[in-house]
Chain A
Amino acid sequence: MAKSPKNVIVVKDLVKKFGNFKALDGLDLTVEKGHVHGLLGPNGAGKSTTIRILLGLLDATAGVATVLGKHPKKDAVELHRRLAYVPGEVNLWPNLSGGESIDLLAKLRGGLDKKRRQELLDSFQLNPTKKFRTYSKGNRQKVALVAALASDVELYILDEPTSGLDPLMEAVFQKHIKQLKAAGKSVLLSSHILAEVEALCDQLTIIREGKTIETGSLSDLRKKHRTTIKAHTETSAMALKKLPGVVNFRSTDRGRKVEFEVDSKHLDKALEKLSQLDVLGLTSHPPTLEELFLSQYNKTDKEA
């Protein structure tokens, strides 16, 4: 087996046009070996298009994409033996049973560990004898997940794999991804489920309208964003309103109770100023993942 480079996925300045429509417009993405990397973005941002280019199903109009150091299209067969993929919408043959589909997909990928297959069927509580067309959405995803996770590969590419799973199955999924991480595997996980991303991902990339707008670890991203501060002071804290980087300033009790958001780089100044005002109570919290997303998703083109 070829030795993997440090980064399992490297995408630079990727552009994909469908006719006149630009689905990707200079996207960058780097997934490090051994990491679980979250790919986030609003609907239509280009997540699935990116993944399909990484699988060689689509050709990039411009830019570079490498997977495990190889070209996604030219080296597709070799690459696909070293990665497993769960598509966003799992469509398989209505007349084949779930078990047949699992065996087929895993075998075409290179091989299948029977014991592992049984463990996965048990933990996901999937009945493999049902014909594919009789499965619900969640169970269809389980078929694709079992087929992917039963393969022993270096890289797992999962496109919104849990959108139809119940919370119990979500927990099972997270358990399996943590096992993969412990075994040194790499995962690219596109998801809308923020708790899942928060629980699993070492790194994440937020994309919008085909461009990368944020990338880094969750704590990196938090540093770039505003912290919310609530303070109760002895004397009026209205002066803080004029400090640089302070926004959404609200006050009650003649300025003795204030609430505001402040940019991470101006946090020091704000705290210094507050400390001079005899603080009676102080709470602060970094941006939650949800706030991070909403602030990014809601941006208009001008702001971006």
Chain B
Amino acid sequence: MHSLTGTWHLFKLAVRRDRIKLPIWIVALAVMFISSAASVTSLYDTPQEQFTYASTTAPSVVSRVFGGPINGPDIGAIVMNETFLTAAIAVAFLSTLAVVRHTRQNEEEGRSEMIESGIVSRHASVVAALMLVTLVNIIMSVIVAVGLKVVGLPTGGSISAGLAVGAIGMTFAGVAAVAAQLADSARGANGLSAMAIGIAFLLRALGDGLGKLAPNGLSITSALPSWFSPIGWGQQIHSFTEGNSWIFILFFGLIVSLIGTAIYLMAKRDIGLGMITTKPGPAEANPKLLSGFGLARRLQRGVFRGWAITILILGVSYGLVIQEFQTFLEDNDQFREALGEIGGSLTDAFIGIMLSFMAVTIAAYGVQALLRLRSEESSGRIESVLGTGISRLRWMLSHIVYVVLGVVVLSLLTGLSMGLTYVLSSGVAWSNVTAITAAALTQASAILALTGFTVLIFSMLPRFSVAIAWGAYSACLLIIELGVLLRLPQWVLDFSPFGHLPIMPAESFELTPVVSLLAVAVATTAAGLWFFNRRDVTLT
């Protein structure tokens, strides 16, 4: 038996296990990436518009933090600035989740005990997982390269950008492979990997934010921290302008050393154990835990806190961006035209659109948090809980109440953080805070309609609820992302609850859509509770 015996079988097993999940991810990312690249190239199709973009984006710290270091008024550079970061982060998560799924998760759930007792070498599982992720990253590289070529960018730059996305994916696959050796649970390994992605994002955000503006005001030279981040490396390649291909050597070195480290650690440790051990917990429960709602709060609070921090960061950033975009809007005819249809002042229309993006973001929290109902059921934990004196209704309502409160609090947080930042940074009237907060809270009615639908689907089609709920969410996301710019017909827009609300604060509040959406939310939630009380709990 040599050091790779069994790898091919495990690779085929991994492909088979992911035969549905990965294609869905890949197709979804491809659609998102290519459609946003296409909308960027159509928005900035004249040298004048490209010049305006570069001259307004380069001085903006917020655009640099959330976009990257713009590299001149080049359409390729603009597309990179608008799409690369999202693509890189999405591919990084796709890669880390897949690696952990096929390494540490197997160990945690006891599958690897059976696998390792077969004719399988010690390194086979981690190598097989990396092979799968390599395949995924090759596909993603090709999609990005072909997508960029199709929207009209030069071949060389497109290939370079595709490779950069793939290299970032492989780097974080290596990080996840190491994390899977360190942590003793899949949750822990995913947490370490996500932390690494977050740090890489923040380092380059810092480096780009502190970067030096070129004398012509059209490009940025990033500061040192960007060079400590693999995501930063990907951006520093500047595929369509400078073409710094030597950076791929850095990627190669890092990927090889990460994978080498993972394999070295794998050989040193015991199966099933990690290198960081789990800390013990309390011997007795805090009295706050000891109720249906207490349990729901304990299970839900981590997810809520993560989203609250995200929403706060986004709210403050959007608040800062409003003033900057005012200048940008004045120079951009097409954007102004699109926003002009909404009515009210252009700034208010822009704020309204930002708020609807934020609402869709908060809706992701709502869907994710409510699908906890399903994971409690499919994991079998529900059996022990419903075997006690808590009713099905109470169990379900505990989670629903927490999530509804969570959605309202996050909406409030959106309005306050965005409004206060806007007022403090731009010196506009304080009434903007209440106007923006009111608008954000109005959006909550649409979010609750979507969460109500999630509750209903959980009760009616438990086995498909995760796919259907996220499918419905993605449809809303696509409609809101592309609907305004592509001017989709009204009947398509009507599918999304978000399309029914006035674009506040540009348009004035309307009671009818809010009441209707809340009625939908209440009706779907109530129907969900009714169905759950009548169906069998699905247990294996």
Contacts and interface: CB of A to CB of B under 8 A. Distances in A.
B284 interface: yes
A89 B380 contact: yes
A131 B274 CA distance: 15
B379 A91 contact: yes
Interface string A59-82: 100000000000000001110110
B185 A55 contact: no
Interface in A103-121: 103-105, 107-110
A58 B388 CA distance: 15
Interface stretch (B54-62, B147-155, B291-299, B342-350): B291-299
B285 A99 contact: yes
A128 interface: yes
A91 B378 CA distance: 10
B283 A105 contact: no
Contacts, number: 115
Contacts of A96: 281, 298
A99 B381 contact: no
Main secondary structure on B side of the interface with A: loop
B108 interface: yes
B283 A129 contact: yes
A76 B298 CA distance: 25
Contacts of A52: 383, 537, 539
Interface string A33-56: 000000000000000000010011
Given A99-B282, A100-B282, A57 B383 contact: yes
A164 interface: no
A152 B118 CA distance: 47
Contacts of B392: 76
A58 B392 CA distance: 12
Interface string B103-120: 000001000000000000
Contacts of A81: 389
A17 to B, nearest CB: 11
B385 interface: yes
Contact of B283 (A85, A93, A94, A99): A99
B386 interface: yes
B384 A144 contact: yes
Contacts of B387: 55, 57, 80, 85, 87
A76 B475 CA distance: 39
A128 B284 CA distance: 8
A80 B389 contact: yes
A131 B282 CA distance: 9
A94 B184 CA distance: 12
Contacts of B292: 108
B281 A87 contact: no
B381 A92 contact: yes
B290 A104 contact: yes
Interface in B153-188: 184-185, 187
A134 interface: yes
A87 B279 CA distance: 27
A130 interface: yes
A97 interface: yes
Contacts of A93: 299, 381
A270 interface: no
B281 A94 contact: no
A126 to B, nearest CB: 10
B187 A99 contact: no
B536 A59 contact: yes
Contacts of B295: 104, 108
Contacts of A91: 379-381, 383-384
A129 B291 contact: no
Could you say which of A57, A87, A109 has the most chain B C-beta atoms within 10 Å of its C-beta? A57
B380 A128 contact: no
A163 B185 CA distance: 25
Contacts of B283: 97, 99, 128-129
Nearest to B392: A76
B185 A133 contact: yes
A107 B289 CA distance: 10
Nearest to B298: A96
B391 interface: yes
A92 B384 CA distance: 8
Nearest to B299: A93
A108 B289 contact: no
B289 A104 contact: yes
A131 B184 CA distance: 12
A94 B290 contact: no
A67 to B, nearest CB: 12
A186 to B, nearest CB: 16
Nearest to A128: B283
B278 interface: yes
B380 A133 contact: no
A218 B27 CA distance: 63
24 contacts: A52-B539, A57-B383, A57-B386, A58-B536, A58-B537, A59-B534, A80-B387, A80-B388, A80-B390, A81-B389, A87-B387, A91-B380, A91-B383, A91-B384, A94-B185, A97-B281, A100-B289, A105-B384, A105-B388, A108-B385, A129-B283, A130-B278, A130-B280, A133-B108
Given A91-B380, A128-B283, 4 more contacts: A87-B383, A97-B282, A99-B283, A129-B282
Closest 8 CB pairs of A and B: A97-B281, A103-B285, A108-B388, A85-B387, A91-B380, A129-B280, A107-B290, A100-B285
